Structure 1
Amino acid sequence: MADRLAGKTAIITGGGRGIGAGITQRFVEEGAKVAIVQRNAPPESMLNERAIYVKADLSSSQEISSAVQAVVERLGGLDILVNNAGIMFDKTVDETTEADWDQMMDINLKAPFLLTKAAMPHLRKWGRGSIVNIGSIEGLASNPGHPAYSASKAGIHGFTAAVAVDHGPEGVRCNAIAPGWINSDLTEVYIDSMADTARVRKELLAMHPVGRLGDPRDVGNLAVWLASDESAFVTGQVSVIDGGRTKKLPLPIF
C-alpha cells in the first residue's frame, strides 16, 4: 500500500458508486481515512477500518452540516473534501421545468457550496486542506439535451477558481477534475438502451485517441494527486481527463 495520503482524512460525496467508488478505492489504497457521504448505503464490501459511511441527503443543508460534523468527530478531523455526487438528465430548455432546473442546481452546485462552507473551518485548521470538485467536460462544451447539467458543471468550474483565490492564503487549495466518458453501471445502462449497442461502442471508442473509455480509477488516480502534497503548487485548475476526446476534431466518414 502506498502512502501519499497517509494521515489524511477525507469526505467523498457519492463515494459508493461509479467515479466516486474509484476515488474512494484509490484514497484508501493511499492510506487515507475516508467517509463516504451519500443518501444510500454503499456496498458493505467497501467499508472497513479506513472507510466509513455517513448518511446524508445532499439536497438538505441541515443534513450536510450534520454530516460534516459527524465525520470530523468520528475521524478526528478533515483534510480533504471531494465534491463528487451529482445527477444528470436529458432535457432541452423547452422540456426542462423550473423544478428540474432547481433539482440539478441543488445537487450539482448548491450542495458542493454548502459542503465547502461546512468543511472550510476544518480544512484551514492545519493550513494544508485540499478540495477536489468533480466537474465535467460538459462544463466546457455540451452534449445535446444538457442545458441544466452543462450549466451546473460550468458553475462548478467557476466556483473552484473562486474558492482557490479566496482561501489559498489560508492554506486551502481547490481544484476540479473534468472527466469525459467513464465506464460505470450508468454508462452500461445508457449503452444498452441504444438500438445498435455494438455500433455505439465502436463509435465511442473511435472518439478517444487512447482507444478506450475511462475507468473510475483513472479519475481516482488524479484525485489522489490533487489531494496530496505532491500538488502543493496547484490550485484553481480544471484538469480534463477524457482520453483526448475533446482534443480530437471530428471528420466525416466516407
Structure 2
Amino acid sequence: MKRFEGKVALVTGGRSGIGLATARRLRDEGARVFTAQRGEDQEFEAIAIDFAAPAGAGRAVEDVVNQSGRLDVLVNNAGMMQEALVEDMSLADWERTIAVNLTTPFMLIKAAMPHLRSAGGTIVNVGSIEGLGSNPKHAAYCTSKAGIHGLTRAVAIDHSGEGVRCNAVAPGWIDTDINVDFIQKLPDPKGFRQKVGKIHPVGRTGKPEEVASLIAWLASPESSFVTGQVWTIDGGRMAMLSLPQ
C-alpha cells in the first residue's frame, strides 16, 4: 500500500523546484495533491493565492477542504529572496519577505489546524540553512527562515499531543530551475560548479527530488515519533569548517 493512499495534501509553491518535486512524490505515493500559488498549475489541482497577502491563506485551505473533504498534509514551501544590506532595504521589501516566507505559513497552519487535528495530519515547513547561518545581503531572508524554524518547534510543542506533528527541512544549495539558470548564465558555469561542489563534503549540490524524499518521510507514518525537528539537508555543507583557498 502506498504511504499516502486516501490522503489529501496541500503544497505551496508546487509548480517548480522543491515544491514540484514534493507534489509529484506525494502524488506518486497515492495522495490527492493541491498546489497553491499565483496562476494556474497544469499538472495538479491548483488554489490561487498571493503569498504577499497572508489573509488569503484561510481561503486556500477552505477551498482544498471544500473540494476534497479533508486535509492530511500541509507543506509550506513557497518563498522568496531579496538581496540588500539592512540599511539599503526598504521597510516595504522587508515586510514583503516576512509576509511571504513566515506570515503566510503561519496563517496556513492556523487555518489548517482544525482539519489536520481531525485527520491526525502532518505539517512540513521548508526552512533553509540560512535559518542557521547567513549569506551576504540576506537579512530578511535569513530572519524569515529562522522564524520558520522557530514556528515549527512552537507548533510541534502545542499540537503534537493532539496528533498533529510539525517538522521542517533546511535545504542547502539545491538545483532548482532558478539556481540552474543562474549558473548557466555565468561566464564559466563548469568552473563555478566545481567551486560550489567543493563547499559540500559530498562533492556536489542537491536535487529537488532528494529534498522531496525527506519531506515525504516526515509527512508519513514512518516518522511518527519525530516532531519539532529541523532536518538539515545540505550535503554536509554546514558541518564542514572552511579552509583558506
Q: Do the structures match in fold with TM over 0.5?
A: yes
Normalising by structure 2, we get a TM-score of 0.96
Partner of residue 124 from structure 2, selected from 132, 139, 151: 132
State the alpha-carbon separation in 1 of the partners of residues 223 and 37 from structure 2.
27
**C-alpha displacement at 1:59, in angstroms?**
2.3
* Aligned position for 1:32: 31
CA–CA separation in structure 1 for the residues paired with 2:27 and 2:131: 29
RMSD: 1.2
**2:167 aligned to which of 159, 162, 175:** 175
Q: Distance in 2 between matches of 1:143 and 1:162?
A: 26
For 1:92, give the aligned amino acid: L
Distance 2:204 2:22 in 1: 19
- Residue of structure 1 equivalent to 2:51: 58
Corresponding position of 1:67: 60
2:2 alignment counterpart: 3
- Alpha-carbon distance in structure 1 between the residues aligned to 2:76 and 2:54: 15
**By how many angstroms is 1:87 displaced?**
0.2
- Which ranges of structure 2 fall in alignment gaps of 5 or more residues? none
Matched-pair contact (CA < 8 Å) for 1:5–1:224: no
* Contact kept in structure 1, 2:54 and 2:100, CA below 8 Å: no
Task: Classify the secondary structure of the residue corresponding to 1:153.
Answer: helix
Task: Indicate if the aligned counterparts of 1:179 and 1:241 stay in contact, CA closer than 8 A.
Answer: yes
SS at match of 1:6: coil
Alignment of 1:78-97 (within 5 A): 78-97=71-90
Query: 2: distance between equivalents of 1:170 and 1:111?
Result: 23
Alignment pair present for 1:235 and 2:231: no
CA contact (8 A) 2:54 2:99 kept: no
Could you tell me whether the CA contact under 8 Å between 1:135 and 1:177 is conserved in 2? yes
Report the residue type matching 1:27 in the other structure: L
Instruction: Give the whole-Å Cα distance in 1 for the aligned partners of 2:233 and 2:191.
Output: 24
Matches of 1:194 and 1:90 in 2, distance apart? 18
Per-residue deviation at 1:7?
1.6
Instruction: Give distance in 1, aligned partners of 2:39 and 2:193.
Output: 30
Instruction: Write the distance in 2 (CA, Å) between the matches of 1:61 and 1:92.
Output: 25
Query: 1:1-254 to 2 correspondence within 5 Å?
Result: 3-42=2-41, 44=42, 46-47=43-44, 52-126=45-119, 128-253=120-245
Once the two structures are overlaid, the 10-residue window that deviates more, 100-109 or 88-97, is: 88-97
State the number of aligned residues: 245
In 1, the alpha carbon distance for the partners of 2:53 and 2:237 equals 35
* Percent identical: 50
Change beyond 3 A, Cα 1:111–1:150: same
Structure 1 letter corresponding to 2:90: T
Deviation at 1:66, TM superposition (A): 1.2
Could you report, residue by residue, the CA deviation over 1:189-230 in whole angstroms, capped at 9, with x for unpaired residues?
A: 322343433321110111112222111111110011000011
CA distance in 2, matches of 1:151, 1:61: 18
Question: Aligned partner of 2:74: which letter?
Answer: L
Residue 59 of structure 2 aligns with an amino acid whose one-letter code is: S
More displaced stretch, 240-249 vs 153-162: 240-249
Cα distance, 1:181 vs. partner?
0.4
Displacement of 1:90: 1.3
- The alpha-carbon deviation at position 60 of structure 1 amounts to 2.4
Q: Take 1:224 and 1:167, find their aligned partners in 2: how far apart are those partners?
A: 20
TM-score w.r.t. the length of structure 1 is 0.93
